[in-house]
Amino acid sequence: INSKLPNIETSIFATMSKMAADHNALNLSQGFPNFPSDSALNALVDQAMSDGFNQYAPMPGDFELRMEISKKIENLHNHFYNPETEITITAGATQAIFTIIAATISKNDEVIIFTPAYDCYAPTVELFGGKVIPIQLKPPFYKVDWQEVADKISSKTKMIIINSPHNPSGMLFSKEDMLLLQDLVEKNDLLVLSDEVYEHIIFDGNVHQSASKFEALAARSFITASFGKTFHNTGWKMGYCAAPERLMKEFQKVHQFVVFCVNHPIQKALATYLKDPDHYLKLSNFYQQKRDFFLNLMEGSNFKIIPSKATYFQMLDFSEISNESDIAFAERLTKEFKIATIPTSVFNEGKKDFRQIRVCFAKTDETLAQAAQILKQF
């Protein structure tokens, strides 16, 4: 057939997790925890099934869960989303992202994406005939040059996609970044897709700057988040989208025909679990300890490392270790040294000058210790 995505290959996450399994390697590639989700939360899912929540949920999602999400956002960011009209529960952030783009992007619309970028944004934009305008974040701290953004906005620009905290760099936007973004989207009448799946994993006293915190930005933004990242159960594929009513209306027109609704008993369980803010507020501390545990063990290694400020990812620069491409290096690490990581050129339009691999430190201390032992041989 005439491919709609002729240049797209299997996602690096599928590729590396399979390579890890095939070669019996430690899997620090695809981002997921190797420890269980809270048994109390699992029990709530069992309870919801026993209570009979085994048929379709309401199309936008269980109302109690939407209310809890609304309360959470209001408490944390001081912005009210009406649970009746402004929140939809999705099959992970991935489905929210797909649905947002499907609902808003038409042929020849331009969408600004910051690279390195998470892998699902660009293909989805292209699927709907949009044109990706990439803008490189500036290492080592992956800062945005907002003047460059202003220069790349044209009469065709429809949307800017942001992702803070940022996968794969582990960096985050400051308040100043958000204010500059707000100014640009207001002036140029743009939409924003704000991917905030790592909202609760922030280190060293940094603060998550949600798009919902900034009034004019919130008025133009679709925000997406992922319960899988927050509650250690990526396999449940649960997330949500929050947006002002005029945008959510368009979102739901598409959502109802993509999935109609998502897993009902898990929504019931999450509604109860979210009532205790401790369940998400303790996450930053938990992962900061993991990051520090891993980085302490990596002390003296030949990888150049700038500690992550957020997310559960750490970039490792191997430019003083090998001249190989990141893909060749990651493949060799998996096959010969039994540790799987993510080569980051895949987030970077295949550019070869970023000699970095990404590791996921959402792992038990035992796995992290084994990983550091292997990596320190280089």
Coil, strand or helix: which one is 72? helix
Asked if 167 touches ligand PMP (CB under 6 A), the answer is yes
Give me the least distance between CB of 343 and ligand GLN, in Å please: 12
Contact in structure between 234 and 33 (CB atoms under 8 Å): yes
- CA atoms of 358 and 328, how far apart (whole Å): 14
274 binds, among ligand GLN, ligand PMP, none (CB under 5 to 8 A by kind): none
By DSSP bridging, strand 239-242 and strand 221-226 are antiparallel
Closest CB to ligand PMP among residues 200, 237: 237
375 binds, among ligand GLN, ligand PMP, none (CB under 5 to 8 A by kind): none
Closest CB to ligand GLN among residues 81, 280: 280
Closest CB to ligand GLN among residues 198, 214: 198
By DSSP bridging, strand 110-115 and strand 157-163 are parallel
Give me the least distance between CB of 273 and ligand PMP, in Å please: 16
Q: How many CB atoms within 10 Å of residue 87?
A: 24
Closest CB to ligand GLN among residues 167, 263: 167
Closest CB to ligand GLN among residues 167, 210: 167
Give me the least distance between CB of 302 and ligand PMP, in Å please: 27
Closest CB to ligand GLN among residues 11, 136: 11
Binding residue (CB under 6 A) for ligand PMP from 29, 37, 94, 169: 94
Give me the least distance between CB of 346 and ligand PMP, in Å please: 13
Tokens encoding 247: 């945008």
Closest CB to ligand PMP among residues 31, 265: 31
Contact in structure between 295 and 309 (CB atoms under 8 Å): no
Give 156's contacts (C-beta < 8 A, 6+ positions apart): 108, 109, 110, 131
Candidates 136-144, 203-211, 223-231, 249-257: pick the segment binding ligand PMP (CB under 6 A).
Answer: 223-231
Coil, strand or helix: which one is 223? strand
Asked if 228 touches ligand PMP (CB under 6 A), the answer is yes
Buried b (16+ CB within 10 A) or exposed e, 107-131: eebbbbbbbbbbbebbbbbbebebe
- The residue of the chain with the least Cβ separation from ligand PMP equals 92
Query: In angstroms, how far is CA 88 from the centroid of its own chain?
Result: 17
Closest CB to ligand GLN among residues 53, 118: 118
Give me the least distance between CB of 167 and ligand GLN, in Å please: 5
Binding residue (CB under 6 A) for ligand PMP from 69, 93, 248, 340: 93
254: left (phi over 0), alpha (psi -120 to 50) or beta: alpha
30 binds, among ligand GLN, ligand PMP, none (CB under 5 to 8 A by kind): ligand GLN
- CA atoms of 82 and 88, how far apart (whole Å): 11
Where in 11-70 is the site for ligand PMP (CB under 6 A)? 31
109 binds, among ligand PMP, ligand GLN, none (CB under 5 to 8 A by kind): none
Binding site for ligand GLN (CB under 6 A): 11, 13, 30-31, 167
Contact in structure between 321 and 303 (CB atoms under 8 Å): yes
Nearest to 26 by CA among 237, 241, 338: 338
Give 352's contacts (C-beta < 8 A, 6+ positions apart): 325, 326, 345
284 binds, among ligand PMP, ligand GLN, none (CB under 5 to 8 A by kind): none
Q: What is the DSSP string of 241-260?
A: EE--HHHHHHHHHHHHHHTS
163 binds, among ligand GLN, ligand PMP, none (CB under 5 to 8 A by kind): ligand PMP
| Contact residues for ligand PMP, defined by CB under 6 A | 31, 92-94, 118, 163, 167, 195, 197, 226, 228-229, 234, 237, 239
